Amino acid sequence: MKYWIAAAALAGLSSWAQADGLQSLEQFLRNSQAGEASFTQTVTSPAKEGQAPRVKTSSGSFAFQRPGKFKFLYKKPFEQTIVADGTTLTLFDADLNQVTQRQQSKALGQTPAALLASAASLQALKSEFDLANAPDADGQQWVLATPKGKDGQLKNVKVGFKGDELTALEIEDGFGQRSVVRFVGLKTLPSLPSSAFEFSIPSGAEVIRQ
């Protein structure tokens, strides 16, 4: 009996010591000022009548530095760059040789990028999102983030962690499209050079400023 009680007590301590999703998110925001990783992204669009859901997969690299800098560099199947330098959000489509730019402050408030690169703390994030622990799954802790504003296209985001390491984003928009981003080999760093988030407009590219 005493061994069973001891085992139960240890199990309880282990469960208590394991961080939940909100604790992991708070630690990530506090301790990870910059980082880089590889990623894969799977986008599933709702099925149309008589058709199967459309699934698209892409991959590339990701880097961020708080406050407000990040880069998604898509390499397969098509080259595309999404980069925020703290002032301007730029989207570059290599196939179209087209650059679209927006003022960053008007574009990132209630987006998945705000969860990774913009918010300085959990409290700051709560000004834009309702946050709650989601059930653990696949050995990961999850946070459900729901935008407080109802005028955007984003329905919700789930953020996954293993301990304090960011592992995944699951994004659902108001049209029923679901995007799953999985990060591989995330390395947190004290900082990254500003050049990591610079973008030079290619010669001859069409430039659209919104």
Q: Per the domain annotation, does 10 fall within a domain?
A: no
Q: Per the domain annotation, does 80 fall within a domain?
A: yes
Q: How far is CA 177 from CA 47, 51, 114, 118, 157, in A?
A: 10, 15, 20, 24, 12
Closest CA to 81 of 51, 67, 102, 60: 60
pLDDT band for position 9 (50/70/90)?
Answer: very low
Token pair for residue 160?
A: 């996954």
Q: Per the domain annotation, does 5 fall within a domain?
A: no
pLDDT band for position 10 (50/70/90)?
Answer: very low
Closest CA to 111 of 163, 61, 72, 55: 72
Average pLDDT, stretch 113-127? 80
Q: Per the domain annotation, does 12 fall within a domain?
A: no
63-100 confidence digits (pLDDT tens): 999 888 999 999 999 999 999 998 999 999 999 999 99
Question: Across the chain, what does the average pLDDT equal?
Answer: 84
Q: Per the domain annotation, does 177 fall within a domain?
A: yes
Domains contained in the chain, number: 1
Q: Per the domain annotation, does 11 fall within a domain?
A: no
145-178 confidence digits (pLDDT tens): 998 877 678 899 999 999 888 999 999 988 889 9
Q: Per the domain annotation, does 4 fall within a domain?
A: no
Average pLDDT, stretch 23-42? 92
The whole domain housing 104 covers 19-209
CATH code at position 192:
2.50.20.10
Q: Residue 16 pLDDT > 80, yes or no?
A: no
pLDDT band for position 127 (50/70/90)?
Answer: confident
Q: Per the domain annotation, does 9 fall within a domain?
A: no
pLDDT band for position 199 (50/70/90)?
Answer: very high
